[in-house]
Structure 1
C-alpha cells in the first residue's frame, strides 16, 4: 500500500494512498447509545452503522447512532448483514433501503454497504448456496440498491469467505468498493479482482466504539467518496 493508483466508483475518483490516513469504526446494537462527541475527539472521522439483518431485524439503536454521528461531524453510512439463505438479494436490499440504507450526495453519507461473510447461525458457511448462486445473490442485492439509491454498495467481506463461497469471483471488483475484514497488522491477500481495499476493518476493539477501521485515503478523499 505504498504506491499511488486510481479507481473510479460511481463517478468518484479515489486515489490509493498509504494505509492509516483516516480512522473510523463500525457499530451495531452491541454498542447501544454511543457518545459521538467522545468518539470524534478520539479520532473517529467515519462510521458504518448496522441498519438491518435479513428482512426481520432493524437495529433498535440505529437512529441514535446514525443521526448522532452526523450531528457530531462524523461521516456515516449504513450496512446490511446478509443472510442469503433467508430470502432473495433483491428482497433484502429493499428492506435495507427502507430501513436506513439510503444514500444522498451530501458528502456526509457513505454508500450503503453489504456485509457478507461466514454464517453466524449455522455450520453452512456459504448458506447452502453454490458459488454461482452466491454471486447471483450479491448481484441481485447490488442491482436493487443501485436502482433505489443511485450507488453501488460497498462490499464487506474477508478473503477466505470470498474465495470459498464465490470462487474468488471478480464480478464486483470494477464498481464496488471493498471493505476488507482482517484482524491483523496487515491487510494481507485481497479477494480476487480488487487491487486494494477502500476500507479495512483491522480489529474488533480499540480506541473507538465497536470494530476499528481505516479508510485508504485522506479525509478530503473520504468526503469526495461519500459525495459520489
Structure 2
C-alpha cells in the first residue's frame, strides 16, 4: 500500500531541513502556556514553499487543558487545511497530562478550530496503557519505532505513523495513497482511508465465512458517529461516542466490579470467621454458666 511521507520538526531542528521526497511536515508550535517554538514560522514556511501539507503540534502538559488549547490556536498557523496535533507524552519533569485532560484539549481545539483536522500523537505505551477512551479526535498519530513504516502495533485505525529517526529528524508516513488525498482529507473534503483495508470477500455459495478479530474490530470502528447507547457513561458530553470506546469502558467497569466483588467476598469471609469465633465463645460461656448454676443448686440441697 502506498503512503505519503513526512517529518516533524521542533526548535532543535534546522529551518533549512530537506523537503525532498516529503509530502507533509508537522512543526512544533507551543508547549504549556508559556512556550512558542522560535523557529515555527520559518520551519512552516519552508514546507509551504515546497507545496507540502503543513501541520502544527502542541506539547500538552498536566493541568489547564482548555487554556493550553487557546494558547495553541492563538500561536499556531491560521490557515484552513493545516493539521493540528496534541502531543501527549511524558514531560521532562516526569509528569504527563491525564487521559481526561487529553480528551478535553482535543475537543477544545476542535471547537476553536472547526476548519482544521485535529489528531492525537502519542507513543504505543501511552495508547495501550494510559488511554481509556480511545479518543483521538480526527485521527491517531502513533509513535512506534519498533515496527516498519506503516505497520504500527496497534489495533486502532491510525492516520500517521512515526517509525524512526534519521538524520536527527523524526520520520513519519501517512495513511494516504498520495499528497492530493492527504490534502483533500486535511481540507475536510474526505475521510481518511482505513489503515488496514479488509480484503474482498469471495463468494462462498452460502457457506459461513469466518472473520478475523481484526476484521471484526475494523467493522465496529466504521460505526463511528452512531448514536451513543443509553448506558454510555459519556452520553451527555459526547453524543458521538465511538462504539468500541463504549465497549472498552464497559469492560473496564466489569473489571472494576470484579475487584470490588472480590473485596466484598474477602470481607464476608473475615466476618464469617469472626462470627464463628464469637458463637464458639458464647457456647463456652453458656456451658460455664450452666456448670456454675448446677454447682450452686447442689450446695442448696446439702
TM bin, normalised by shorter chain, reads 0.7 to 0.9
Q: 1:198 aligns with which of 142, 156, 159?
A: 159
CA RMSD of superposed structures (Å): 2.0
Larger Rg: 2
Output the TM-score relative to the length of structure 1: 0.73
Per-residue deviation, 1:101: 5.1
Counterpart contact for 1:51–1:79, Cα < 8 Å = yes
Determine if contact 2:27/2:44 at 8 Å carries over to the other structure.
yes
Work out whether residues 102 and 112 of structure 1, in 8 Å CA contact, stay in contact via their aligned partners in 2. Answer: no
Change (3 A) 1:103 1:145: farther
Deviations 1:50-101 (A, max 9, x none): 00011111000001001221012111110001112xx311111110001115
What is the match of residue 33 of structure 1?
Answer: 15
Q: Tell me what 2:75 maps to.
A: 99
Secondary structure of 1:224's partner? helix
Q: 1:148-200 CA distances to partner (integer Å, 9 max, x unpaired)?
A: 11045210012211233224x32x15x4301010113333422x6x2x21110
2:145 is matched with: 183
> Does residue 225 of the first structure (1) align with residue 197 of the second (2)?
no
1:59 aligns with 2:37: yes
Matching residue of 1:8: none
Compare the two structures and name the one with the higher strand fraction.
1
Q: Are the aligned partners of 1:80 and 1:114 in contact in 2 as well (CA < 8 Å)?
A: yes
Answer whether contact 1:51 1:96 (CA < 8 A) is retained. yes
How far 1:102 sits from its partner (Å)?
4.1
Measured in 2, the distance between the counterparts of 1:200 and 1:101 equals: 23
> What residue is the counterpart of 2:121 in the other structure?
156
* 3-state SS of paired residue (1:63): helix
The structure in which a higher percent of residues are helix is: 2
Aligned residue pair count? 184
Aligned to 2:99: 135
Deviations 1:85-125 (A, max 9, x none): xx3111111100011154504xxx2x210010133322x4x
Cα distance change on mapping 1:91 and 1:101 into 2, 3 Å: farther
Q: Which has the higher contact order (CA 8 A, sep 6+)?
A: 1
| TM-score for both structures, normalised by structure 2 | 0.56
CA contact (8 A) 1:117 1:161 kept: yes
Runs of 4+ in 1 over 4 A off after TM superposition: none
- Indicate if the aligned counterparts of 1:90 and 1:143 stay in contact, CA closer than 8 A: no
- C-alpha contact (below 8 Å) 2:142/2:158 kept by paired residues: yes
CA distance in 1, matches of 2:174, 2:5: 6
Name structure 2 gaps, 5 residues minimum: 189-302
Summarize the alignment of residues 65-76 of structure 1 with structure 2, pairs less than 5 Å apart.
Answer: 65-76=43-54
1:202 to partner: Cα distance: 0.4
Q: In 2, distance between residues paired with 1:165 and 1:184? A: 19
Unaligned runs of 5+ in 1: 1-17
